[in-house]
Structure 1
Amino acid sequence: MMNNKNTFSLYIHWPFCRKKCSYCDLNSHVRDSIDENVWIDGLIKEMHYWHKFTAHYKMETIFFGGGTPSLIQPKNIEKIIKTAKTLWKPYTNSKNNHLYIGSNNLYKGREIDNLYKNDEIEITLETNPSSLEANSLREFKNAGINRISFGVQSLDDDILHLLNRTHNAEEALKFIQSSLDIFNNVSVDIMYGLPTHTLQTLQSTLDNLLKLNIHHISIYELTLQKNTLLNHQIENKELFLPCDEQIANEYELILKSCKKHEYNRYEISSFSLPGYESRHNQNYWHSKQFIGIGPGAHGRIFIENENDLYSIMQTSTNINESTSVNKNVSSNQSADFTIIPQSELNKSKNSYNSYSNEITSKKSHYYSIENSKIPEKWLEKVQNKHNGLKVFENIDIDTQIQEFIMMGLRVTDGFSILDFESRFQVKFSTITSQDKINKLLDHNYIEINQHNIKLTYSGIIRHGAICKYLIF
């Protein structure tokens, strides 16, 4: 989990969609028509801008997100990939390029060498599982995409209609099969905790998906967002969310079904066949660097050269000396954390304040970048200043520690305490107490093995509360 200052992941954001899903609060926009080439030129111009400060970096992954980036013509996807590979050398780990798939039916006993060739990196494209996108799958592969990811969400047509999705169940299943015929690495998203959802509905979706031996599945609990159609419907009591017990039962069903089909849960919401974990997302969870390109894209990057800092700051709308995360750590998981009393949580705040004072004086070279969200505003900035920056902030050591712990504990393997101490040059014992560690061990919320700390199943469903208890 050790951070490598000389490697990064590249995220490309395409903000346009055919229509807005009822639950979506992402930076996505519906436009009647656009000049695609103008927007592609903007993305490439912004890539060149960040290359000036990161020319010595190696690129680990590329991820096209949105929006719906599969609306981009394959030739322009290829143009972006070629530009990225020209600007940055690829960083590959030969150990990750050799996969062995175990006793799963389709893959039983079959050894797969070099899922990616030695000079290749993981390049993911998000798409919709509709017949329109299906026609371009092979072209996207020829353009350089080697991993495809799409949101099925459910295989119940009534729920898909409720979510305002562009596909139905039959289209989704056909799309999955077409993807598996073309790509060696396919990922799908589904949701749980949905209005009108039943255990039978979820079981049917899981059964129909898992038997296809899809390489990777992300399973997310619905999170209501303000200013979405679905939230409006819930507030007006047109629809109703399932109770906490129902949501917990759905998550338990997901775990059992994935285990039965030999999927490994390697992160709170992520399941894969052996060797098909998302490299791009792992870099996020392991607090590695990433550069965000496009409207509303975010990034985290080390900048140590003072001249580079000055140059970037001249183009940013908002410049802050430092930023810190919201102290009210939350979690998508519905289970509470009542076993640790509020009095203990209050004590933890005092402990947090004492270590925070020690950390604050340490100088940070880690910066948060955030682009303008409105596509037209971003494009105007890029055309005038070669980047779409809205916010450029120094991330203080205090905040980095909080993010490292919160992200690291999302992963099933947890994080190395030795890596933590090497990165931040502080003892882990200075940011929490042995008494709190012992309480978490006593309640079977965490495990510590040879300097590695991770959450148990009971801890995973209390992720947010445990992070708050540990560090605040």
Structure 2
Amino acid sequence: MGPLALYIHWPFCVSKCPYCDFNSHVRAQVDVAAWESALLADMAHEAALVPGRKLSSIFFGGGTPSLMPPALVERLIAEAERRWGFAEDIEITLEANPSSVEAANFHDLARTGVNRVSLGLQSLDDQTLEFLGRAHDVEEGLAALDTAQQAFGRVSFDLIYARPGQSLDDWQAELDRALGFGTGHMSLYQLTIEPGTRFETLVRTGKLIPADDDHCADLFELNRSMMTAAGLPAYEISNHAKPGQESRHNLTYWRYEDYIGIGPGAHGRRLDSATERHKKPENFLSAVERNGNGLKVEQPLSAATRAMEALMMGLRLAEGVDLAALSDKTGLTAAQMVDGAAIDQLAGLGLLDAAGGRLMISPRGMPLLDALLPKIIADI
């Protein structure tokens, strides 16, 4: 069987960023002991359902998991190893805000077994950081990056582009500076206006004008050219890495392998079923106390749904999707999963490549991925 990954969600943040639609919550106090007990119980429930498979990766996401006490992180890692066992080269990632307070814990977190950190730098411009609602400034963020590079074997950081008023020259200069820090992985995310966020309200009231599609496409092409030239080609639509530095945990998602999700709002895919935990922290704790786990949804997935999800995830990758392997997983033929006529047409336009039974979106087609997927995936 393929790799098994574990995602652990820590839902708490110091403040809510105006662009963020993740399951994050601001609380004046957090009962760490109660959360340790609940997360361990949630983990035990999943381990009983999926025994005998070693973990290839663990990912602490949020929220802001760098706010977790290192002792709690260590306890969860130790319990995961006890329950499943670890692959020899397990990747253990923790998302972190680049504040001085959280960076002070980086060396302690490294001693718990965390060997990869993903920093939310988001920008190298103080005015932009204020616009994005970030609690750190550039100086503090870069100091945290330096500490992270000393503490962890692998470091990645995020930047947000297509910000209002951002020119190509501005972004090129910022990206050039970012490449100078020497990390093996960078995530470049286009600013999107998500429903329910403060930014959506600003757009709706005319107080924020998003970048237009043509300008976003130009910025995306700049990402591709600069990152490739620097030796960090795109292996996924928004993620760039030196060879061997790709996020193995995220590849588990994109390759549609099994992953366990515990903690508030966490999603999982295991044993051909979809799982989802209660989102609100208090509801999650109540569910664990009541049922011994935080599950809100546990639903078997049909072969057609699994094929659709695998295509939607896998076509984000530069490597694309092996249709024969997906047929083996789902029992469906390629003709049942994808629209052959649409593929021929899009291949003729240079938007995808279907040679050798592997379906791949071309660099030219990747900016249009959201529009291409409904054409490619068969009506199943």
Say whether residues 1:50 and 2:46 are aligned partners. Answer: yes
**How many residue pairs align between the two structures?**
378
1:433 to partner: Cα distance: 4.5
Q: Which moved more, 1:411-420 or 1:433-442?
A: 433-442
Give the conservation status (yes or no) of the 8 Å contact 2:304–2:337. no
Give the conservation status (yes or no) of the 8 Å contact 1:416–1:451. yes
Larger Rg: 1 or 2? 1
* TM-score using structure 2 length: 0.96
User: Which residue of 166, 177, 180 corresponds with 2:149?
Assistant: 180
User: Which residue of 453, 460, 465 corresponds with 2:366?
Assistant: 460
Q: Which string of whole-angstrom CA distances, capped at 9 and with x for unpartnered residues, describes residues 197-249 of structure 1?
A: 22233223211210111111111111212221111122222221111121111
Aligned-partner Cα distance in 1 for 2:221–2:233: 14
Cα 1:229/1:450, change in 2 over 3 Å: same
Q: What secondary structure, in the 3-state scheme, does the structure 1 residue paired with 2:192 have?
A: coil
Q: Which string of whole-angstrom CA distances, capped at 9 and with x for unpartnered residues, describes residues 5-29 of structure 1?
A: 6x42100000000001111111100
Aligned-partner Cα distance in 1 for 2:255–2:141: 32
* AA matched with 1:59: L
User: Which residue of 200, 203, 212 corresponds with 1:231?
Assistant: 200
Give the conservation status (yes or no) of the 8 Å contact 1:130–1:171. yes
User: Which residue of 87, 97, 100 corresponds with 1:128?
Assistant: 97
Give the conservation status (yes or no) of the 8 Å contact 1:196–1:240. no
Q: What secondary structure, in the 3-state scheme, does the structure 2 residue paired with 1:191 have?
A: strand
Q: Unpaired runs of 5+ in structure 1?
A: 92-118, 303-365
Q: How does 1:35-434 map to 2 (within 5 A)?
A: 35-91=31-87, 119-302=88-271, 366-434=272-340
Cα 1:229/1:431, change in 2 over 3 Å: closer
Aligned-partner Cα distance in 1 for 2:56–2:282: 30
Q: What secondary structure, in the 3-state scheme, does the structure 1 residue paired with 2:145 have?
A: helix
Q: What secondary structure, in the 3-state scheme, does the structure 2 residue paired with 1:454 have?
A: strand
Task: Supply the RMSD in Å over aligned alpha carbons.
Answer: 1.4
Aligned-partner Cα distance in 2 for 1:412–1:433: 20
Question: What's 1:10 paired with?
Answer: 6
Aligned-partner Cα distance in 2 for 1:262–1:150: 20
Q: Unpaired runs of 5+ in structure 2?
A: none
Q: What secondary structure, in the 3-state scheme, does the structure 1 residue paired with 2:365 have?
A: helix
1:252 to partner: Cα distance: 1.5
Give the conservation status (yes or no) of the 8 Å contact 1:159–1:196. no
Cα 1:252/1:432, change in 2 over 3 Å: closer
Cα 1:83/1:194, change in 2 over 3 Å: same
1:264 to partner: Cα distance: 1.7
Q: What secondary structure, in the 3-state scheme, does the structure 2 residue paired with 1:288 have?
A: coil
Aligned-partner Cα distance in 2 for 1:22–1:382: 30
Give the conservation status (yes or no) of the 8 Å contact 2:188–2:238. yes
